[in-house]
Copies of this chain bind each other. A is one copy, B any other.
Amino acid sequence: MKTAGNTRIGKSAMLLLLTERSEEDWNRHFNELNWSYCTGRIGSMDSQKIVAAIETAAKRSDIVREDLYREMHALYHAIMEALTGVTRGHTQLGEILRTVGLSFSVVRGTPYAQEEEGEWIAVALYGTIGAPVKGLEHETIGLGINHI
């Protein structure tokens, strides 16, 4: 828990979605670092609902303060960057007849050794994208990182 890899905020956010590590284990991991995180799931043809689900989860988990625009702004741009990876070109879903089923994570922490670098936020997305027909879909991934 002291290796460089452990303080990779993007890697941590992605591994939260890709490995079967227990919640207890993750809690211990992030507690040691004094970082906060949350995870959730959202399936929709509507990009707006994806954004809302992630923002709501981050606010309810006290990862960001919803009354502080500075923090909401940092989170929003991290979500947009992650969504760009998921959609690979146009941040559109139903408008171009496709849908996603995603798990997401948000991690807030201090990934740089230098203390002044302060806090950063990572949003990771992993799931499937495809036609609105069961099975006609492939995997998709996105990661957004921002200073907060």
Binding site for B on A (CB under 8 A): 5, 8-11, 14-15, 18-20, 46-48, 51-52, 55, 68-70, 72-74, 76-77, 80-81, 83-86, 88-92, 94-98, 111-112, 114, 116-118, 120, 122, 124, 126, 130-131, 135-147
Q: Cβ of A84: which chain B residues have Cβ within 8 Å of it?
A: 84-85, 88-89
Kindly state the separation between the CA atoms of A19 and B147 in the bound complex, as whole angstroms: 25
Copy tally for this chain in the complex stands at 6
- Contact check, A73 vs B138: say whether CB atoms are below 8 A apart: yes
User: Taking CB as reference atom, which chain B residue is nearest A86?
Assistant: B85
- Contact check, A116 vs B85: say whether CB atoms are below 8 A apart: no
Do A143 and B70 form a contact, CB below 8 Å, given A47-B96, A76-B131?
no
Q: Cβ of A136: which chain B residues have Cβ within 8 Å of it?
A: 69, 72-73
Q: Cβ of A11: which chain B residues have Cβ within 8 Å of it?
A: 18, 126, 139
Q: Cβ of A126: which chain B residues have Cβ within 8 Å of it?
A: 11
